[in-house]
């Protein structure tokens, strides 16, 4: 059996799912793409319009060629935001099983919304999106992300050189949260490491420094790290902070599982689905406000043994239930079920 994995090249999601299929005896091909926004193909700027139309055309040609050459049985994609509906119809006519695994809300993916009916299975990232998706495709279910244990795992002998670490893009309420948390960090002599795209070149860099001095001083890298580098940082940190981008959602993000996979102590904002994945207070610790975050961060910095035990328990749970191998087994089982059952 052959699977084609198609997704954005960032964060090694494609490789993680591909490894899981291989572990189950499948032949796997992986096709990466650079992200593209369909709305930009209608831009009033002629240069931008040509650029993005050409990118979509190139992606479409490359995808068709890969399918013709590899003749996969399953086509698996994350997000699906660069696949045109006509290409999905073309794949269905060739007998492929199409699986869409969302790692973002469907409402942020206009191209995906226009082709939902062609997929054999759709897995929602955000449970509250399911009624919307199911109106176009009843073969829809919630499936949380997983993690790759080859990337995220405990590292023996790593010294805890940071008190708090946060990895992620500073969107939405994250900047405000970090600003409140870190205003007193210098006075308390806390060692903090932040990784993410906090500013761009030129004036924006200086503006960010002036606007968020409490955050600026702790940016370890203004950019991204590879999964092994992130895993090392998690292992070197007493507390790893996790904060979801969609503030009013109930689903959980991939970092929940990555942090747990490294057996690190995690402070994460409360989510409706979280307790189904990890037990609050014994496998992860949660917060519902900035004040509660500050209070719990102080407590666990003063009680490192308790934090270590929670991190160890989360690692055990992650390895038993939340790898991408677990997720792919679920997907294959769902594909084998009758169409009316999911």
Cα separation, 220 vs 234, whole angstroms: 13
pLDDT computed for residue 139 by the predictor: 96
Number of Cα atoms under 13 Å in the Cβ half of residue 152: 30
* CB-based contact 87:111 (threshold 8 Å): no
Rounded to the nearest 10°, the torsion over CA 227, 141, 117, 57 is 0
% residues pLDDT > 90 (the chain): 71
Instruction: Tell whether 184 and 118 lie within a shared domain.
Output: no
Q: How distant, in Å, are the alpha carbons of 50, 103, 140, 164, 224 from that of 191?
A: 47, 32, 44, 7, 20
Q: Which of 139-153, 154-168, 197-211, 247-261 has the lowest mean pLDDT?
A: 197-211
Average pLDDT over all residues of the chain = 91
Radius of gyration of the chain (CA): 21
120 and 174 in a common domain: no
pLDDT at 122 over 90: yes
What are phi and psi for residue 41, nearest 5 degrees? -75, -10
- Do 30 and 102 lie in one domain? The reply is yes
Average pLDDT rounded to a whole number, residues 314-323: 98
Q: What are phi and psi of 80, to 5 degrees?
A: 70, 15
Taking residues 119-128, what's their average pLDDT?
A: 96
Q: pLDDT (tens digit, 9 = 90+) per residue, 32-91?
A: 887 666 556 655 677 676 776 788 888 899 999 999 999 999 999 998 888 989 999 999
| Residue in 143, 144, 147 with CA at minimum distance from that of residue 261 | 147
| pLDDT at residue 16 in the model | 95
263 to each of 209, 232, 233, 286, 304, how far by Cα in Å? 33, 11, 12, 16, 14
Report the percent of the chain where pLDDT is more than 70. 94
Say what the pLDDT of residue 33 is. Answer: 81
Residues 198 and 86 in one domain: no
- For residues 108-116, give the mean pLDDT: 91
Asked if residue 33 is part of any domain, the answer here is yes
Residue 100 forms part of a structural domain: yes
CA-angle at 1, arms to 77 and 23, nearest 5°: 75
245 and 170 part of one domain: yes
Rounded distance between C-alpha atoms, residue 273 and residue 307, angstroms:
22
The residues with which 7 forms a beta bridge, in sequence order, are: 32
283 pLDDT more than 90: yes
pLDDT one-digit tens code per residue, 227-241:
999 999 999 999 999
Residue spans of alpha helices (H) in 173-212: 174-182, 203-211
177 and 314: one domain? yes
Specify the range with the lowest mean pLDDT, choosing from 63-72, 200-209, 284-293.
Answer: 200-209
Task: Give the total residue count for the chain.
Answer: 342
Classify residue 152: in a domain, yes or no: no
Q: Identify whether residues 97 and 112 lie together within a single domain.
A: yes
Are both 190 and 48 inside the same structural domain? no
Q: Is residue 274 part of a domain?
A: yes
Task: Give 32-44 pLDDT, tens digit per residue.
Answer: 887 666 556 655 6
Is it the case that residue 184 has pLDDT exceeding 80? no
Confidence of residue 205 (pLDDT cuts 50, 70, 90): confident
Among 192, 180, 169, 172, which Cα is nearest to 290's?
Answer: 180
What are the beta bridge partners of residue 2? 27
Q: Specify the pLDDT at position 246.
A: 73
- Counting the structural domains of the chain, the total is 2
H or E stretch at 4: strand 2-8
Highest mean pLDDT among 119-123, 187-191, 294-298: 119-123
Whether pLDDT at 202 is above 80: no
pLDDT for the residue 47: 62
**Pair (171, 315) in one structural domain:** yes
- Residues 247, 269: Cα–Cα separation, whole Å: 9
Residue 55 included in any domain: yes
- Given this model, what pLDDT does residue 199 score? 87
Arithmetic mean of pLDDT, 166-193? 86
Q: What is the CATH number of the domain that holds 116?
A: 3.40.50.2000
Residue 48 shares a structural domain with residue 68: yes
- CA nearest neighbour of 278 among 289, 287, 268, 292: 268
Please give the residue that has the higher pLDDT: either 321 or 247.
321
Two structure tokens written together for 245 = 């981008």
How high is the pLDDT of residue 340? 66
Position 19 in a domain: yes
Domain hosting 227: range is 162-321
Mean pLDDT of 305-316: 98
Is 268 domain-assigned?
yes
Q: How far apart are the first and last CA of the chain?
A: 22
- Residue 284 shares a structural domain with residue 175: yes
Residue 5, by phi and psi: left (phi above 0), alpha (psi -120 to 50) or beta?
A: beta
- Shared domain for 122 and 185, answered yes or no, is no
């Amino acid at each position: 059996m052959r699977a084609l994995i198609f997704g954005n090249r960032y964060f090694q999601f494609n490789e993680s799912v591909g490894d899981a299929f291989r572990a189950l005896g499948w032949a796997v091909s992986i096709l990466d793409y650079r992200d593209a926004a369909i709305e930009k193909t209608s831009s009033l700027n002629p240069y931008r319009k040509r650029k993005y139309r050409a990118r979509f055309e190139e992606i479409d040609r490359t995808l068709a060629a890969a399918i013709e050459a590899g003749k996969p049985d399953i086509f698996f994609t994350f997000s699906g935001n660069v696949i045109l509906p006509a290409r999905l119809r073309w794949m269905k006519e060739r007998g492929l099983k199409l699986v869409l695994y969302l790692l973002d809300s469907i409402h942020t993916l206009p191209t995906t919304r226009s082709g939902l009916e062609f997929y054999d299975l759709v897995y929602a990232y955000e449970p509250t999106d399911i009624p919307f998706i199911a109106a176009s495709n009843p073969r829809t279910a919630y499936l949380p992300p997983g993690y790759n244990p080859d990337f995220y795992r405990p590292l023996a002998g790593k010294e805890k050189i940071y008190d708090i670490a946060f990895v992620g893009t500073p969107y939405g309420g994250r900047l405000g949260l970090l600003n409140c948390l870190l205003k007193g960090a210098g006075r308390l002599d806390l060692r903090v490491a932040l990784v993410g795209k906090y500013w761009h070149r030129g004036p924006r860099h200086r503006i960010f420094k002036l606007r968020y001095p409490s955050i600026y001083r702790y940016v370890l890298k203004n950019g991204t790290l590879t999964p092994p580098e992130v895993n090392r940082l998690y292992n070197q940190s007493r507390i790893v902070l996790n904060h979801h981008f969609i503030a009013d959602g109930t689903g959980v993000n991939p970092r929940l599982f990555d942090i747990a996979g490294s057996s690190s102590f995690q402070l994460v904002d409360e989510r409706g689905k979280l307790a189904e994945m990890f037990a609050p207070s014994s496998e992860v610790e949660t917060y519902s406000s900035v004040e509660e975050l500050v209070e719990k961060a102080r407590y666990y910095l003063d009680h490192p043994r308790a934090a270590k035990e929670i991190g160890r328990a989360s690692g055990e749970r992650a390895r038993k239930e939340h790898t991408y191998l677990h997720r792919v087994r679920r997907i294959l089982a769902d594909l084998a079920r009758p169409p009316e059952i999911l």
